[in-house]
Structure 1
Amino acid sequence: MTLRALASTDLRENPARVALFLHGYGSNARNLTGLASALPAGMPWASLEAPIPLAPGASAWFHITEPGDPDPAPVGAATDAIWSWVDDVLPPETTLVPIGFSQGGLMATQLLRTRPDRARTAVVLGGFVQAAAQPADALLREERPEVFSGRGEDDRVITTAAVERTDAWLREHATATSRRYPGLAHGIDARMLADVQAFLNPATP
């Protein structure tokens, strides 16, 4: 799989850290670029297009078979595709801040769970983790990296079982900042964006 990407103009300047936007099912690389306003000043970003075309302007990281409990094989293939793009485009010393929504939120956790030497944190918005164990889970249980998890209280897209699994995984493997937003369904609003900004800019009052 060869992934396409949108990126900020300063991506080629050998940055120390890069934000990596990972969109949800049925969306595209343009969908999350508005989140760049929440990034620390001067932080470059890239927004990847998922590899599976669904319709014009719509793609997916993997097909939905059982909601909230994807087949590990296509998730693994998508994870490998993201890492291939990272290794081809970014310097080896550059670390990632994966920021994903919904299915892209799962992909953000996949980067953390497979190569935490490069993805040292994650922002998961309306997302979840897959049930299958991942290579770095034992290490994460010891190191407990910072993770932001936010979702709408009225979200009916992500199954209850997937939400409970994700909450349990975060308790065991991360130092989590978890937020729930009353009145929000499966989406991102100004409250969530403000909390992401505070998480990524810890010195901000």
Structure 2
Amino acid sequence: MPFPTPDLRIDRDAVLWSASERDRAGRPLLVLLHGYASDEADLFGISAYLPLEPVIASVRAPIPEGQGFAWFSRYTNMPGDPLAANADAAAAAVLDWLDEQPQTPTGLLGFSQGGAMALQLLRRAPERFDYAVQLSGFVVHGEQDGDAHLAASKMPVFWGRGTLDEVISSDAVDRTTAWLPDHSALDARIYEGMGHNISSAELADVSAFIRSGLRR
């Protein structure tokens, strides 16, 4: 018997912002999506290494799990291969939250599960976003309504991963390797000796990628 699709919601009070509401006006937005069993404070720590122009909003995943929170549960999903309906439910929660924010150029940056979420959000609502950064993540199985739009528009996507990452399975990496070139203007980087984490060299590349996107 399949598990029911969860009805998820972003905790508005848990969002960490890099600027006050008054100082956000007229600036682009960068949404941070943390990894499994982590929280909004984790990725927010890289804000100092990213361009200053975008307002950064680090959101908390909606499912309490482990020592933190998850976008989709490991108890009802295979690692690296979640049910599309569960990833869709988490993406819908983020999109509902985004509906409450001022319309502005918006980018996504996600790590691990959050990287999968960044791509899922692009696929669910490609017209809402301008670029995505996917770090040590993967693309979810299945087709989405926005896939054709992405294939035609070739939105900029940065995909970074390490040669020593033992968390994301080879099947998930192979699936993502096959999908991304056909659905994005892909900037793919592989970092020698890096595990399932983010290195200083990768952060420098991410910052340059975001900066180039802001100039477009």
In structure 1, the residue matched to 2:4 is none
The alignment status of 1:44 with 2:55, answered yes or no, reads yes
The alignment status of 1:72 with 2:48, answered yes or no, reads no
8 Å Cα contact 2:27/2:53 also seen in 1: no
Letter in 2 for 1:15: G
Secondary structure class of the residue paired with 1:155: coil
8 Å Cα contact 1:100/1:107 also seen in 2: yes
The one-character-per-residue Cα deviations of 1:41-100 (angstroms, maximum 9, x if unpaired) are 2321100000000145x0000112212110111111100000011112x11x22321100
In structure 2, the residue matched to 1:195 is 205
The one-character-per-residue Cα deviations of 1:9-28 (angstroms, maximum 9, x if unpaired) are 24553334200000000100
Find the partner of 1:142 among 152, 166, 171: 152
Letter in 1 for 2:130: R
Question: If the length of structure 1 is used for normalisation, what is the TM-score?
Answer: 0.92
In structure 1, the residue matched to 2:183 is 173
8 Å Cα contact 1:36/1:45 also seen in 2: yes
- More deviation, 34-43/7-16: 7-16
In structure 1, the residue matched to 2:3 is none
In structure 2, the residue matched to 1:2 is 9
Question: If the length of structure 2 is used for normalisation, what is the TM-score?
Answer: 0.88
Measure the CA separation in 2 of the matches of 1:46 and 1:30: 10
In structure 1, the residue matched to 2:126 is 116
Measure the CA separation in 2 of the matches of 1:54 and 1:74: 15
- More deviation, 44-53/62-71: 62-71
Moved over 4 A (4+): none
The alignment status of 1:23 with 2:30, answered yes or no, reads no
Superposed CA RMSD in Å reads 1.5
Matches within 5 A, 1:32-111: 32-56=43-67, 58-64=68-74, 65-88=77-100, 90-91=101-102, 93-111=103-121
Quote the sequence identity (%): 42
- More deviation, 23-32/66-75: 66-75
Structure 1, unmatched stretches of 5+, are none
| TM-fit CA distance, 1:194 | 0.7
8 Å Cα contact 1:61/1:75 also seen in 2: yes
Secondary structure class of the residue paired with 1:202: helix
Letter in 1 for 2:53: G
Structure 2, unmatched stretches of 5+, are 1-7
Measure the CA separation in 2 of the matches of 1:140 and 1:155: 27
Measure the CA separation in 2 of the matches of 1:151 and 1:187: 8
Kindly tell me: are residues 55 and 67 of structure 1, through their superposed partners in 2, closer, same or farther at Cα, counting changes over 3 Å?
closer
| TM-fit CA distance, 1:37 | 2.4
Q: How many residues align?
A: 200
Kindly tell me: are residues 69 and 10 of structure 1, through their superposed partners in 2, closer, same or farther at Cα, counting changes over 3 Å?
same
Measure the CA separation in 2 of the matches of 1:67 and 1:103: 9
In structure 2, the residue matched to 1:156 is 166
